[in-house]
Structure 1
Amino acid sequence: MELITILSFTLGNAIAKAIIVEWLGDNKLLENITADLMDLVRDNSMSDTDKRNAMAQVEQIGQQLVMRLRAKYAAMPHRSDLNPEAVIFDVAITSSKANISLTSLVESQLNPNKVYSELRDLRPDVTKTFSTHETSLYHSLLKLLSEELVNLSTELIGFLPLVTSKTWENQDRILDAINTILTQPTHEAAEFEMKYRNAVNNALDTPDIFGIPYADRLARSQRLSTAYIPLRATTGQALRALQLMDLSDFAKLSSSSIVPDLDTSFNRVYEEISKSGFGKSSSLSIESGLNEFVLSVSTGIGKTAVLEKLMKYLTPDRSIEQVLAQSRRLVLRGDAGSGKSTLLKWIAVTAARQDFTGILSRWNELVPFYIRLRERVNKDFPTPEEFPKLTARMIAGRIHTDDWTHQVLESGRAIVLIDGVDELPRPQRKDMLDQLAQLVKLYPLARYIITSRPSAIKSSEWPEWEDWVKQEEFSIATLQPMEPHEIDSFIEHWHAALKQSLNLTQTETDRMVNSLKRIRKQRRPLARLATSPLLCAMICALHHERGGHNLPSERIKLYSDCVEMLVEKRDEARRIPLGDDYPDLGYDQKLELIRHFAFWMMRNDYTEVTQAEADKFFNDYLSKTTHKDISGTQVRKFFVDRTSLLREPTLDGIDFTHRTFQEFLTAQAIFDNNEFGLLLGKVRNDQWREVIILTSGYAGTLRRGERTKFLKNLVNKAKKYKREENKKQVLLLSIAALEGSAGLEMAAQEYVLEQATEVFPPKSEDDVKQIAIAGDPAISLLQYRLEYENNLRWCVETLGLIGSIEAMNALVDYTELENGSVIRKLWDIRANFEREIYFKQVLSHCRVLHCNSVSSLVGFEYLTSLCELYIYKLTKPLHITELAKLSNLKALSLHGDNVNDLSHIAHLHQLKKLDVSQTEIDNLQAIAPLVNLTELNLSGCPVSDMTPLTHLSRLCKLDISNTKTQDISFLEKITQIQSLNIAGLSIKDLFPLDCLQKLTELIIDHTEVDDVSFITSFLELSHLGITGLRVSKLDPLLQLPNLSSLEISLSQLNLLEPIVENSSLSKITININDYSNDNLLFFLEFLNGDYSKLFDFAGKDSNIYNLFMQWPVKSINVSNENLSFSLIKDNPESSPSNNRMNKTH
């Protein structure tokens, strides 16, 4: 029996039966419930054997759910004055009356509150005879049941794509896996799990807060959860497509099924829409996988939804929580200090504490396993048996069975957090991938998150990595720099920790916070440095130490000042005596020791050493100096206890608190020892990339000549590579090594840029970051050029990251373009500049502007050149008075719940196109004066009175779908309408349409119309949407000579045959939203590529595919809000095998 068949059965009766038999233990009570309780499977088309097998499977799922419910009930406080059996029995009856299936839970958006509300509303009067405490218990049990149902669904939905990727050999094993998911841990396992969770929490719930004195004391009193700052991430291409298509019902699906060229395709659609203008009918020539967008845009129907989804896709920044919720297997990229390790620790701690909220609340059943790869250098990837020992060494020996970790992994309750691929030596990485692939294959239901710096996992450097990610179905996300409001939040958190550590007053803390925020706003170079958590923490620490004075504006100077502060100045400033336990060494001697220790570790590919190895290194180094009386142990303790440069991550281990310190100190040692030649041999080793950049910058602060010589040698080294990929990598590295131009000879700068012109323009996010490091010297090669046409948005993003006045001036030339992605990027980078100046000097030149999210309209008054403005979401209530000054506007789009008043745009007399769909607009009086309007979209607005529209004598396109109006008689006064959408209105009589003889597009979906004979008078009609209508025949469509596009419901397929001879019909879109109970079945078959099932699924005796081949129709689309299926004829005379099927999710 097919898995999906079993999953579509109603579980309510099975749950009720399990409650009565397994929990209450009274079979006689079954007699008090209707016979339906025993009839778990009502499919009469099934054989008796299949029915019995299905009943057994459904009953087993019900039993396991009730076991979970009982376990949670047992943990609840109990009262002696209530009758729990009666309450539990009523929960069973409620369950038996509920239509609980995987599909119904998906339709409830996997929201336990919605499921609870539906269960509660089934029997609203059931608690009338209950006491207060019995009522409370009844509702508590319903809530627990709802949570368990959603937890089950979440696991199964995340599990389903593995069926399509052939992870499992047969469906028996699938059903076995489902049983594994549902299996309740034994008492011993549950007891150990709780101890393990506590151990993980104790081990990892320690925030690494750079620059806080007495951090050990602070760590004991502060939780990571309070110090953690939520981050944002840019998602990979496949995950972007999932976001675009709003696959919330299938959020756990693997992203590998997305077609590889989807990103390019969506960008083409976006460009075409941007060029053609809002609502303009356009014939798009794009990839066939985007047919539903072509249909929507070319017909002028649903443009708002299309644009919103495209903006959602092309604005892939999301909160990290959103990315995590949609990713079962994730590679998380981030630069040094971007917060990767902190994020993994936060996930581990929050999972251990079962403290997730919001969209991650379903993760509270997960068991975290945290693996720091820097601890696995020269070791194998740990086996599952070793996982608990990595963070809970003291209790790992008390596992009640060696199989516990395997059981957690197998059940899908494990989340494996793998930190720092880049910290493994290159020769070891392939073995790590092979071993990790075995783990994923053995335990496909577990969650996996892997972190790395981007430079370590670039496909050009490690092609096996890219193949592995695709093969193992991992999605990719990149942590983004902090935005100004996030930096301010970080500053507040850092100083809250400082206040706790030093017992400062709130007044003192507020003064420092406000001072640093003010400095950040005033000094743009400093603000650009503060975009990573580590660098922001360094700035906070220096600001505190120096009383707000002399803060550096360049990264290398910031590192140097922080090392100086940590090694010497802090204890000096506080006059703290070191005592006999620490060495009596001067600042230069301490610095020399720690620099060479870092260089020794780097040269030997060490990320961690034992204490004995560290002591030996310091002893050996000291033996060559005059300080033979100082022991290596003293030195090591000093750097651990007094500087925070080194730490003890394990019982016997020593490493740098942050790899950035190790890299910077190594760079200083290389400069001191004149080891530049060694660096030239490391130019293609990603682990040395930062060291090379930092060495170049540091050399420039002391000996410019040395830096010039090194940079020229670096470029010459690049030119010797024959492979273009290798040459590009080293040329980009040489550009990045220009960082810190203050210490750079002009001749060296010019030489590097002249030789590296071939890597311009930037063509990827990684190129952007590397080129931006060079700063202002790179601007001349980023200015607008016609030959950059395909990469203009990357140039804009790079200039935004550079963020200087010179970069802003270079952006002005880009504002004259009609390239949609460039214009959108100009908006996205606004936070990198002073807002008012940027609006005045850059955005004021734009004629078109797309704003994905707007929280303030300050500065919009300067945008008087704007002709088209699209604001896709107002994130807070705002008065739109600033928009009243944009007198040249011809197209305006406003969206979001915070849009409720249009009075300020009543004087925009040049406005021709207005879209305020999905807003709270309920009064149209302000629209009446806009007599030049030709297009208006009010879809989803709570407006009922449409009479103000009668003043709009030029209106050609109107969308009033899903509004509150029940009267369309106003249409008799605006007879020039050509495109009309009245879907979702409570109307049956369409006589006012008779006067609209110019109609070319008409959507009447889900109205009360049951006869389409009225349609015959619209001879110009080219597109018709009748989804959801209860019509018995479509014959009247034969009388429409220009009808080329038709949108119908799946249930209407059998009405198509009579109009096969209508040669003008070239496109059919079939909407399957009204077949929600079968969506999951369709989706699985769709993923498997068996489109013939679609036509069987349509319920016709004849084969629609064969009919399609006979029709003059060129394409069929099947779509709903989640997916689109397209069957397109390449050649009407060809055989079926020569036709193609395309899918878009």
Structure 2
Amino acid sequence: MVDVTALGARVASSAVAPLVRRLFVRDGPGAGLVDRPVRISALVSFRGEKRNVTPKDVDKIAEELVRRALASAGPGEEPVAGAEAAAVKDALARTLARLGEITVEDYEAVGLGPERFARELGAGVPLAPYGLGEGGTLLYERLLHTASLHILNFLTQRSTYVARQQTVQTRQLSRLVQAADVLLERLPSQSAEDAGFEERYADHVAARYGTLTIYGLDAGTREWPLDTAYLSLEATRPQAARDGRRSPEYPVLAAEQVLAGHDQVFLRGVAGSGKTTLVQWLAVTASSRVYDHGMPHLIGRVPFVLPMRRIVRPGAELPLPGDFLRAVGAPVAGEQPPGWAERVLRARRGVLLVDGIDEIAGDRRAAARRWLRELVRAFPGNLWLVTSRPSAVPEEWLAAEGFSELVLAPMGRDGVATFVRRWHRAAEVDGSVGESLLASVRSTSELNELATNPLMCGMLCALHRDRRGFLPQDRRSLYEAALTMLLERRDRERELLGSDGVRLAYATQVQLLQKLAWWLIRNSRHEMDRDEARGIVDRALPALNLDGAGGEEVYRALLLRSGLLREPAEDRVDFLHRTFQDYLGARLAVQEMDFDLLVNHADADQWEDVILLALAHARPKEAEHMLRRLTELGTPRGTLLAAAGLRYAAEVAPEVRVRVEEGLATHIPPAGFDDAREIAQATGDLMLTLLPGPEEVSHAVGATVVSAAVEVGSEAALQFLTKYRDHPAKDVQTILAAAWRRFDREQYAREILAHLPRQRAVDVYTNDDLRTLRALGGWEHIVVRGAYRVEDLTEFIVPERLTLLALEAPHPVEGLNWLSAFPRLEAVSVFAEPDEGWARQVPVGVRLRFPLHSPSYDSQG
């Protein structure tokens, strides 16, 4: 019997190398100097409208590898059976096809080595469907390793790779030199005492903020290193976030770069959107002694992390700089040299990260704004980031103090995929499980709506793994499942009684947590004193059967073992996340029949989730009472809340449903784009059933209707938009052309773009966008957003189609002679300020315009 593991190794390099080369496009000249990464998926030659290899050719290559491996068996050696060899070929072909899907950069792949790169390729290909036995599996693994070895060798031999690596090294050296210059300029003459303390403080920041908690991992692996867990989010102007616009006027930037262009930023983000994680990342990066991270504005600075829930105490003044570390409970506070914090801020070296304006009571926010204003005026030139939930304070709340306002965008399709894959790697779960979850999220509108931020994505990952692929389809069920996981399973898995010796049943924990949550909500608080929490527990004890356990024992057990409470500072208690507080509070509100109290707070943004979740918990008659009361308020907000609540209530009488829908009809169709956005966010798919068709509205109203459906962004919304794809109004066509990145790219291109006039402007950000347009036969008006490579544009843009081209890049590629490849090109708009010599290279007959902003590039027309 042949040693199957040796078969793959016997395939000669002279046979494998030509097969591997067929998988990739021919190399182009130059170093491939682009700001965006050179991903392997962009190099393969079998994706979309490529010029060399097709998906069938990948099968042929895999078949040839298997054939050569089996042929290398010596006389008398028995290879795997023919049927299993065919299965090996199929599995290997599918794995090699993953080259067109992975986002690993070429130099990162080489750094992985053949073993880890082979695992990366195979991560998304479960072998179970192929029915491989032990021999077939070993042969597959050996051939995959052999192919991976030659793929990496091929990548290192590409001229662009070699030149790019030299350029990367040169840039790294240049950044280090620049960092040294910045550091020398920024660091003042320090005493040995100050310098020594700053080193100890930097170590404290790295230890305290350098990890995150992963939901659903076993107790021993719950801490996730920040440098591998951090997911780059996006931030933009509030107007762009509302309208979904991407343009030079409303740029989208990486959230970690928000302080690069502005010294003072007020950043809004919904619950779980990653605000606190961003604060941690900035703190750790600023305190690190690594200076080639590409963020020179953080070099030599000292971070101060100031969670508002910890530093705002009832009846107490907000801390001055010398008290910052003591206010947040930093263990090194006692070592701080007198006047050190003030000296740091006087030298303009501070990074002040004020997290959670929304987490303090409304009557303290005015005092917080005065405190911020006085500090900014007293210590100018430092960097400030202040975070909050969107609805906590009015727009431009800190504008008078010089703060620029930005909004964290929801995670996009790629961000969700990256998070899910990283989560499963950290959890050491087979990659196929993560791919199964992604398929469910993308095909189910309810889950798609939930997977918009890291918190919810983490819960989905944990629940999907825990329930072997089954996921709840609504928010109430999702939170209920999460509570079961955190309160019941966690305690069982750890098998600990706790230091207090008290075991609390699931129902007991929920009842106590509900009381704490409802107290916080009713008092407009996000944090309570420890004594207040103890008082609530003490008052609940007589009704609980706990065999004489004392209030302190019960409180400690709840704090240590529920996973939902924490003590962020000495003698202070809060919930790990606001979403759990709202869910649990809504449960008790229904138990206590506080329906009128809920409705009476309908005008308060912070009560919105509580009201909706209460409708989910309520019995039919109770839900109907709340819906009637909401409609009786006679306000747009009450009407929209009632309409949104229909999705949460399990059973509603027909007459009540009609009443709510009639109230909503007063807002349908939307009067303008702001109304369209508000209604879409409040009602989701429900609104789609009430929106009029294209034959029922004027051109202007048609634009707002389409904008509302785009804002919903679900699979049902995409199907609704197909009704408007043949609409003649220019504004409707412009919005449809600009919206394609909010949906599945290929599906949207097939269902919508293919039916639009080709002269409408379409934004492209990646080669995949360009390939999709090429598959449609090309496009006339293309707006390239971000860095680009000339060879990509000339390859993927259909030359006979292009008439108008806009280039928006930080650094446009030098020269424009390449535009001669497009014979019908009439004008090129450049969003940059190139020199005159650069501009002279425009081909004859082509108009050059820069800088230019055209309203036609905006999604709202």
Q: TM-score, normalised by structure 1?
A: 0.53
Map 1:96-111 onto structure 2 (within 5 A).
Answer: none
Tell me if structure 1 keeps the 8 A contact 2:726–2:756. Answer: yes
1:839 matched to 2:774? The reply is no
Equivalent in the alignment of 1:777 = 686
1:457 matched to 2:393? The reply is yes
Structure of greater relative contact order (alpha carbons < 8 Å, 6+ residues apart): 2
Tell me if structure 1 keeps the 8 A contact 2:533–2:573. Answer: yes
Computed over aligned residues only, the root mean square deviation of the Cα atoms, in angstroms, reads 4.2
Equivalent in the alignment of 2:418 = 489
Letter in 2 for 1:860: L
Looking at structure 2, the residues matched to 818 and 420 of structure 1 have their Cα atoms a distance apart, in angstroms, of 47
Looking at structure 2, the residues matched to 868 and 317 of structure 1 have their Cα atoms a distance apart, in angstroms, of 25
Map 1:652-1051 onto structure 2 (within 5 A).
Answer: 652-699=571-618, 703-717=619-633, 719=634, 727-740=635-648, 743-757=651-665, 759=667, 761=670, 768=677, 771-783=680-692, 795-796=705-706, 798-816=708-726, 823=733, 825-827=735-737, 829-847=739-757, 848-856=760-768, 857=770, 859-860=772-773, 863=776, 868-873=780-785, 896-899=789-792, 901=794, 905=798, 927=822, 933=824, 935=826, 937=828, 962=839
Map 1:419-434 onto structure 2 (within 5 A).
Answer: 419-434=355-370
Structure 1 residue 400, shift from structure 2 partner: 1.8
Structure 1 residue 377, shift from structure 2 partner: 4.6
Identity of aligned residues (%): 28
Q: Deviations over 1:836-886 (max 9, x none)?
A: 43222222221124114233145436746x8733141487xxxxxxxxxxx
Q: Which runs of 5+ in 1 are unaligned?
A: 1-112, 119-138, 154-180, 241-262, 268-309, 460-465, 500-507, 720-726, 876-894, 941-958, 972-976, 982-1002, 1004-1119, 1124-1145
Tell me if structure 2 keeps the 8 A contact 1:622–1:628. Answer: no
Tell me if structure 1 keeps the 8 A contact 2:329–2:569. Answer: no
Equivalent of 2:226, from 224, 227, 231? 224
Change (3 A) 1:743 1:557: farther
Equivalent of 1:540, from 454, 457, 461? 461
Tell me if structure 1 keeps the 8 A contact 2:613–2:648. Answer: no
Map 1:340-379 onto structure 2 (within 5 A).
Answer: 340-355=275-290, 357-375=292-310, 376-378=312-314, 379=316
Map 1:405-424 onto structure 2 (within 5 A).
Answer: 405-424=341-360
Structure 1 residue 362, shift from structure 2 partner: 2.6
Q: Residue 437 of structure 1: SS of its match in structure 2?
A: helix
Letter in 1 for 2:621: G
Equivalent of 2:483, from 559, 563, 582? 563
Equivalent of 1:478, from 407, 415, 426? 407
Q: Residue 445 of structure 1: SS of its match in structure 2?
A: coil
Structure 1 residue 912, shift from structure 2 partner: 5.7
Equivalent in the alignment of 1:601 = 520
Structure 1 residue 964, shift from structure 2 partner: 5.8
Equivalent in the alignment of 1:45 = none
Q: Residue 583 of structure 2: SS of its match in structure 1?
A: helix
Change (3 A) 1:488 1:455: same
Map 1:213-362 onto structure 2 (within 5 A).
Answer: 213-214=218-219, 218-219=222-223, 222-236=224-238, 312-313=247-248, 316-355=251-290, 357-362=292-297
1:207 matched to 2:212? The reply is yes
Tell me if structure 2 keeps the 8 A contact 1:200–1:349. Answer: yes
Letter in 1 for 2:205: V
Change (3 A) 1:202 1:828: farther
Change (3 A) 1:694 1:445: same
Structure 1 residue 543, shift from structure 2 partner: 1.0
Looking at structure 1, the residues matched to 807 and 208 of structure 2 have their Cα atoms a distance apart, in angstroms, of 52
Change (3 A) 1:769 1:492: farther
Change (3 A) 1:492 1:193: same
Q: Which runs of 5+ in 2 are unaligned?
A: 1-165, 854-861
Looking at structure 1, the residues matched to 502 and 381 of structure 2 have their Cα atoms a distance apart, in angstroms, of 53
Greater C-alpha radius of gyration: 1
Equivalent in the alignment of 2:16 = none
Letter in 2 for 1:399: Q
Map 1:106-255 onto structure 2 (within 5 A).
Answer: 146-147=178-179, 149-150=181-182, 183-214=188-219, 218-219=222-223, 222-236=224-238
Structure 1 residue 424, shift from structure 2 partner: 1.4
Structure 1 residue 567, shift from structure 2 partner: 1.8
Looking at structure 2, the residues matched to 672 and 903 of structure 1 have their Cα atoms a distance apart, in angstroms, of 61
Structure 1 residue 823, shift from structure 2 partner: 4.8
Looking at structure 1, the residues matched to 740 and 852 of structure 2 have their Cα atoms a distance apart, in angstroms, of 33
Q: Residue 313 of structure 1: SS of its match in structure 2?
A: coil
Structure 1 residue 793, shift from structure 2 partner: 6.6
Letter in 2 for 1:559: Y
Equivalent in the alignment of 1:383 = 320
Query: Mean alpha-carbon deviation: is it higher for 792-801 or for 373-382?
Result: 792-801
Equivalent of 1:625, from 537, 544, 548? 544
Looking at structure 2, the residues matched to 913 and 803 of structure 1 have their Cα atoms a distance apart, in angstroms, of 28
Kindly tell me the number of residue pairs found equivalent between the two proteins: 673
Looking at structure 1, the residues matched to 266 and 455 of structure 2 have their Cα atoms a distance apart, in angstroms, of 21
Q: Residue 282 of structure 2: SS of its match in structure 1?
A: helix
Structure 1 residue 474, shift from structure 2 partner: 1.1
Letter in 1 for 2:373: A
Change (3 A) 1:923 1:368: closer
Q: Deviations over 1:740-787 (max 9, x none)?
A: 366555544442343245555276779736633422221245556798
Looking at structure 2, the residues matched to 475 and 569 of structure 1 have their Cα atoms a distance apart, in angstroms, of 44
Looking at structure 2, the residues matched to 869 and 223 of structure 1 have their Cα atoms a distance apart, in angstroms, of 44
Looking at structure 2, the residues matched to 980 and 803 of structure 1 have their Cα atoms a distance apart, in angstroms, of 37
Tell me if structure 2 keeps the 8 A contact 1:939–1:962. Answer: no
Structure 1 residue 601, shift from structure 2 partner: 2.6
Change (3 A) 1:204 1:923: closer
Looking at structure 2, the residues matched to 916 and 902 of structure 1 have their Cα atoms a distance apart, in angstroms, of 16
Looking at structure 2, the residues matched to 871 and 817 of structure 1 have their Cα atoms a distance apart, in angstroms, of 23
Looking at structure 1, the residues matched to 731 and 364 of structure 2 have their Cα atoms a distance apart, in angstroms, of 40
Tell me if structure 2 keeps the 8 A contact 1:203–1:391. Answer: no
Letter in 1 for 2:420: I
Change (3 A) 1:225 1:795: farther
Q: Residue 295 of structure 2: SS of its match in structure 1?
A: helix
Change (3 A) 1:596 1:540: same
Looking at structure 2, the residues matched to 515 and 117 of structure 1 have their Cα atoms a distance apart, in angstroms, of 42
Structure 1 residue 835, shift from structure 2 partner: 3.8
Looking at structure 1, the residues matched to 203 and 342 of structure 2 have their Cα atoms a distance apart, in angstroms, of 20
